[in-house]
Structure 1
C-alpha cells in the first residue's frame, strides 16, 4: 500500500492517508506539498548503477510550485540576502530591501529559475519547520545542509528531515517498480511517453514542446510513476543532490526536450548556481520515526516553566541551537515553530490557558504528524 502525506503552505500540516493520492491543482495552488512513501528498502540498482537505496524515505508527489516557493520567499526573503528570487520566476516582487513582498498568479505551476543552492535553502527551511526571519542558521543557512556563504555547502547531515533527493533516491522513485525491476520511463506500466497536452491518456507527458510551456503540477493525472509521483518525465528538469563531475545532477527532462532525455539511461548536470526557465526541483523527506514527547517542554528538563519560552525565543531570534524535538517546541500544534509557540507557552504559564494540545502532561506520540519531527526527547526515553 502506498501512503501519502501532505505539508500545507500555511502550516504545512502532514495529513497521512492511504492510496496513491493526487494533490489536485487547487490544493497545489494553495501551497500543499504532498509526499509518497518510497519503500522496498535495499533494492538493487538499475543496469547503469542508479537507484539502489538502503532505507525507506518520502519524495514529493509534485515538483515544488510557485505557490510553495512564494510562501518561502515571504517567510525569509524580506531582504533576500542570498538572492533566492530571480525576476524570471512567475513570482512578482514588490517593495524595498528589508520589506520585500512576493505574490504569484500561477501558483500551481512548478517554480523555475532556481539554483541548486536555492533548492537546498528551501529544504533547510522545511527542515526547521518553515520559520520566518532573515536568511541565517535558523532558517536557510543550516539544517539539512550547512551553507558557508552564498555558494558553498556541505553534504546532507544525518537527521535531515527534508532535503533534495540524491540521484539514487530520485531514480528509484521514478523508475523502480518493485518485483518488476526498473522501467525506462517514470510512467504507468506498459506505456511509452506520449507528447500531448494534459488529458486522460496514460503515458502522456509534457515534453517535446507538446504544450511549449510548463504545466500545472500533476496535470497529467493518468501518468503517475509506480510510487505515485507525477512529472518526473518532462515539465521541468529537477535538481538532485548528487555531484557529477564538479557540477550537480539534473534529471527528468523538460517540456522542451525529446523523449530520450526523460529516460532512465540519461543523466545530466549543470553549475549549481545555474538558473533556467526549464529547471526546478522536488523535495524528499525522511520517514518519521515515532518518538514520545511532551508538548511545550522545549528544553527537555521534564517540566514546563519560564525556561521553555525563553529557549524558544533564543532559537527564533538569538541563533541558539534548534530544539532536539521540534514537535515539542510546536506548542500550539500548528505544524510550525514560530513566535506563536512562545506566546502559547506564556499564555499557558501566566494567562490561564489550562493545557496545550496533546501530548501534554504525559509522554505520547504526536496525534497530528507533521514534517517537524522529534530527534529525541530524553524525559520520555524508555
Structure 2
C-alpha cells in the first residue's frame, strides 16, 4: 500500500478510488450473505448497534463529508441524518429507530458511492484548504469505514449461534523467539505525534518533542499463557493488585477470566466467532479490560506503559533520529504485521519478527489493541478538526488510550501515531496489552 503523501493529484486519486473500493468490499463482506435480514437488524448487545445501522451510517458519513462538504452537492437523504448521528442516538436505543432496511441501505450506499467517484474525478487537493489538502477528507472517510468494519467484527464476536464468518488460516510467519522478554529503551527525547502526515487525525497532532527517562518494555504482548499464570496464582482474588475502581469492577462484574473464556473439565476454552476451541497458550491475550491489564502488570512487578513510552518504542529510530510511520518503516508491508483481518485471531509469540521496531520490540501494530496507562487528552497545541465530536468530546480521565491496532484493524486505519481510546471496563473490543517497568 502506498503512503498517502508525496503523490501527485492523479496518483492520489487512484489511491483514493482503490481504497474506497477496498473498504466497501470489506463492509459488504461483513453484512451481505453472512446473515439474514433479521440477523442484520437485531441488536446482539446494548453495547453495539445493529449491523444495518453501521452499514447505513458509513454511507451517510460519506455523503456528509465527500458530497456535501467537499463537493458542495445537495443532500440525497437529509431526513435520515439524525438517525445515523452517533451522538444523537446512543447504541442502546438504535434498534428502536426507523432504520433503513438492509436492501435500502445497500442501495443508498451505491448511490452515494457512484456520485463520490464522479466528483472525485473533478476534485482539487487545495494545499490551502485543510479539508482537501493531501486528500485528507477522503482518507478520513475511508478510515472511518474501516473503524466501523472493526466494530462490526466485534458485533459478530458477541453474536450467539453458528459461525457466520469464514475462518481463514493465519498466513504463515516464521516463528523466531525474541532474544529477551523485555527491551531497554534508552533515555532521551523523541518526536511524538505528527505534523506532516496528511491523513492523520487531529488528536495525533501536532508533532512535539518528549524527553523520557530510560525504561524497559515487553518485547511482545502478554500471551494467554502469561495471563493464565496470573489467574492460577489467584490474581483475581487478591485486592492488592487492583486499583480501587478496578476492585469495584471485579466485584460488581463477577469476572474472573477474559471475555468469552469458559472452563470445562479442567480446560480453558474460548468462544471465537461462534467456534468453541481450547485457549491457544502462545497467542496474545485479548478481550481484557484496562483494570485486568493493570492488575496483571502489578502482579508481574511491572506497570502499563504510558502512551509516550509505547510510541517511542514503536516509532523512534535512534540511529536516524526520526520517527517511522510503522515500526519497521514508512510503508506498509503485509508480511510484517497481523493487520487487516488476515485472520480472525491474534498471532503467536515469535511471529512477525520482521515487523520489529528499531528497538527490537515485536508486534506493536496488529494482533491486539494495547492498553496504556494514559488518560485521553489532546497534545499541547491541539486544534479540533474537522469536528469536535471525533476527539475533543472524549478528552478527560474517563477514557484510557489504546495503541497499535488489532488483527481486525486495517493498515490504512492505524500507524505509530494513531490514538484509540475507550472506557477502562470495555472487553468486547480486540484488546490486550504489554507491560513496562522503570530502570532500577
Q: TM-score, normalised by structure 2?
A: 0.44
1:193 alignment counterpart: 332
Displacement of 1:213 in angstroms is 2.0
- C-alpha contact (below 8 Å) 1:51/1:167 kept by paired residues: no
- C-alpha contact (below 8 Å) 2:176/2:351 kept by paired residues: no
Q: Does 1:275 align with 2:427?
A: yes
1:220 alignment counterpart: 352
Change (3 A) 1:277 1:46: closer
Matched residue of 1:249: which SS?
Answer: strand
2:184 alignment counterpart: 37
In the TM superposition, 1:1-382 aligns within 5 A as 34-47=181-194, 48-49=206-207, 52-77=210-235, 82=250, 83-89=255-261, 92-93=262-263, 105-127=279-301, 162-178=302-318, 179-187=320-328, 189=329, 192-196=331-335, 204-244=336-376, 245=395, 246-276=398-428, 278-288=430-440
Of stretches 106-115 and 276-285 in structure 1, the one that deviates more from structure 2 is 276-285
Matched residue of 2:400: which SS?
Answer: strand
Matched residue of 2:314: which SS?
Answer: helix
**Alpha carbon RMSD of aligned pairs, Å?**
2.9
Number of equivalences: 213
Q: Which runs of 5+ in 1 are unaligned?
A: 1-23, 128-161, 197-203, 289-382
- C-alpha contact (below 8 Å) 1:33/1:62 kept by paired residues: no
- Deviation string 1:7-53 (CA, Å, 9 cap, x unpaired) is xxxxxxxxxxxxxxxxx96979xxx9810000142334343346724
Change (3 A) 1:262 1:85: same
Residues in 2 aligned to 1:84 and 1:227: alpha-carbon distance in whole angstroms: 35
Change (3 A) 1:84 1:265: same
Which protein has the larger Cα radius of gyration, Structure 1 or Structure 2?
2
Change (3 A) 1:78 1:223: closer
Q: Which runs of 5+ in 2 are unaligned?
A: 1-173, 195-205, 239-246, 270-277, 377-394
Residues in 2 aligned to 1:79 and 1:93: alpha-carbon distance in whole angstroms: 17
Residues in 2 aligned to 1:164 and 1:71: alpha-carbon distance in whole angstroms: 18
1:346 alignment counterpart: none
- Deviation string 1:97-143 (CA, Å, 9 cap, x unpaired) is xxx9868641110101100000110111112xxxxxxxxxxxxxxxx
- C-alpha contact (below 8 Å) 1:186/1:226 kept by paired residues: yes
Residues in 2 aligned to 1:215 and 1:36: alpha-carbon distance in whole angstroms: 20
